[in-house]
Amino acid sequence: MADQDETESPEAEVDSEASGGKKKKLIIFIVVVLVVLGGAAGITLYMLMGSGETAGEGDSSAESQKATKPPAIYFAMEPPFTVDFQVGGRQRYAQLSITVMGRDPEAMAAVKQHEPLIRNNLVLLIASEDFQTLQTSEGKEMLKQKATESIQQVLQQEIGKPGIETVLFTGFVMQ
């Protein structure tokens, strides 16, 4: 039995040396890969930090523009607009809740002051549209643009500037 232990021991030592050699190679390979990846990450960070300053300058100018840009002011035109349509011999209705958005307090005060004229123009505009077209998103977007232009025309005549940025539909029901 002693002979068997001695004969098995050298084989076990060879196997452990071979597996130890494989482990060393694996560890060296992993270290090399980590060094390469670390170097690549370092170079990438260095490059980004260098170009980040110019991007940061652009961001700061964008932030300064936001800081100088006045906040949005909203004016909800109440009550909602209700308009009737004749479609194929049937009576149809549309009810729209409209909010006006601008940034100039003077212009928004003018919207409130001239609301009867603006409402009249918007009712006529909505009623002149095709009922089927208004059921599509393109038709709604087109109406939004026309409504914005209509209000801007009134403000241009009354205060000498367009005054608002856009019209928002906060409710749009058709039946």
Domain boundaries, the chain: 1-69, 73-174
- Tell me, what DSSP letter sits at residue 90? E
More confident residue, 143 or 8: 143
Q: Is the CATH number of domain 73-174 3.30.479.30?
A: yes
Span 93-147, pLDDT tens digits: 999 999 999 999 999 999 999 999 999 999 999 999 999 999 999 999 999 999 9
What pLDDT score was predicted for residue 54?
47
Q: Which of 66, 132, 75 is nearest to 106 (CA)?
A: 75
What pLDDT score was predicted for residue 46?
74
What residues have CB less than 8 Å from 114, skipping those under 6 apart? 154, 155, 158
Task: Determine the distance from the C-alpha atom of residue 60 to the mean position of all C-alpha atoms in its chain, rounded to a whole number.
Answer: 20
Span 145-173, pLDDT tens digits: 999 999 999 999 999 999 999 999 999 99
66: confidence class by pLDDT, cuts 50, 70, 90: low
Q: Please, is 126 exposed, middle or buried when counting C-beta atoms within 10 Å of its C-beta (0-12, 13-18, 19+)? A: buried
Q: Which of 15-24, 26-35, 71-80, 112-121 has the lowest mean pLDDT?
A: 15-24
CA distances from 70 to 64, 109, 142 (A): 12, 16, 27
